[in-house]
Chains A and B, each alone.
Chain A
Amino acid sequence: MADTKTKEKEPLFSKKNLGLVKDPLADNNPITVQVLGICSALAITAELKASVIMALSVIFVTAMGNVVISLMRNIIPNSIRIITQLVVAATLVILVDLTLKAFVPDLAKKLSVFIGLIITNCIIMGRFEAFALGNTPWKSFLDGIGNGLGYGVILVIVGFFRELLGSGDLFGLGKTYLGHPLLGNPIKGELSGLYALGYENNGFMLLAPMALITLGLIIGFQRSRNKSLIEETH
């Protein structure tokens, strides 16, 4: 799980450093491969907008937290290491929470307790422990961005499908993309697009279980394309 990186001198954007950002996006994705941080996120993926905000919040916390922990890595007493990490994570999450409440109050309400749950998001603690404690701030920053992005990508994909199929909308703009005339000619009155062909929004996509099933399908899809990720055991 942990990346094993050497500590030699390298340029800021060396291939290895870029790998820190790129790897978590696909083959070492924190959600689908490392199986970390599913908890705090899936409940809010019924809407794309909430997913994006959540993803940004997590990226901020992983990146900044990694930097802070990395800066402190030589002065943290070993006996209170875990609690120090929790305090750093909690502080950053509170900052995010207060910012959201001040600037996007409506969305903050929707995310409710799930912003707070970023603290116990295993990705955060996992990266602090496995990477930031042993690496320089710059590398830790990239690692944080990478893992946050990898996490965010999955959230956004799940959010995209759930909102599109569940309410025919994206970003809550009140449009029905599936009702676009290009997808089918308006036949019956005001119905257009797929709706004219008899399609209806699948409200079930908005309910909790479908987040899990969507994620299961994404994992299956990823693994069928990259056979090396397939698990031997069940």
Chain B
Amino acid sequence: MSTKRTDSNIYTIVFAVILVVVVGSLLAFFANATKDMRVNNDKVKTQLDILSSIGVEATRANATEMFNQYIKKQFVVEGTTATEDAEAYLIDVKKEQNAAKEGKTQRLPIFEAEKDGKTIYIVPVRGNGLWDAIWGYVALNDDLKSIYGVFFDHKGETPGLGANITEPFFKDDFKGEMIYGPSGDFKSVTVSKSNGDPNNTDKTDNEVDAISGATITGNGVTAMLKKGLGLYLPYFETLKK
């Protein structure tokens, strides 16, 4: 099938150049055409996740509307000072964590939600599970001492085991759990394999029941909460005053 014409070097080069130009422009056009949708999808996903932590299940269609309805204020915390920023939810927690490693101040987003007349504070957390990153949002009651609700997600935990941190049966255990010990010291919430409280009736033990077979993911959640919430403690102190 090959002919003399298609075997010459010049023909090959011209063919390659034309191919690259055609393919390049086609892809650039298509990427541009879908860019807004893709960016918007990511935004909506974040909004859905935040809403999920306060128990509001929205759909992709009404996410933005619900988000605006429930989330009243958004702040960026640096140290103990907070500045209002309507796009604080778009802050990339991972980037901020890396910036903190380099010695810069970590910008901490916090969202003030209002549901059933109650004020709820939501903070993002991020850490590592068994295989890859895990992250989530923790909603705190307005006393800033107990948890209103949580949302967790993960990149690639084991299906059926670690991946179950996204399931309601695990997340619901966190509801009402205290993050401070009896003497007022910060304890966060531990995912425990030996708390002797499988039904999670004791809300003051700072522990929830672990998922069997998912030790490392559970420890990851524990560490993530401790670190993530710990960052906000100085600011919480100022809020309580």
Contacts and interface: CB of A to CB of B under 8 A. Distances in A.
Does A touch B (CB under 8 Å) in the complex? yes
Given A75-B6, A105-B41, A206-B160, A87 B34 contact: no
B233 interface: no
A166 B170 CA distance: 19
Given A79-B12, A101-B38, A105-B38, A74 B1 contact: yes
* B contact residues, range: 20 to 34
Contacts of A103: 37
A32 B15 CA distance: 37
A76 B41 contact: no
Interface string A45-77: 010000000000000000000000000011111
B23 interface: yes
B27 interface: yes
Contacts, number: 68
B159 A77 contact: no
B169 interface: no
Contact of B159 (A87, A102, A207): A207
A206 B163 CA distance: 11
Contacts of A204: 160
Contacts of A134: 1
Contacts of B161: 203
A80 B16 contact: yes
A91 interface: yes
A80 B15 contact: yes
Contact of A98 (B2, B3, B31): B31
Contact of B160 (A84, A98, A167): A167
Nearest to A206: B159
Contacts of B215: none
A95 interface: yes
Given A91-B26, A102-B34, A203-B160, A75 B7 contact: no
A226 interface: no
Given A91-B26, A98-B30, A133-B1, A76 B159 contact: no
A203 B23 CA distance: 44
Given A87-B23, A203-B160, 12 more contacts: A74-B6, A75-B6, A75-B15, A77-B15, A78-B7, A80-B12, A80-B15, A87-B19, A94-B30, A105-B42, A166-B160, A206-B160
In the A-B complex, the 4 residue pairs with the closest CB atoms:
A203-B160, A105-B41, A206-B159, A102-B37
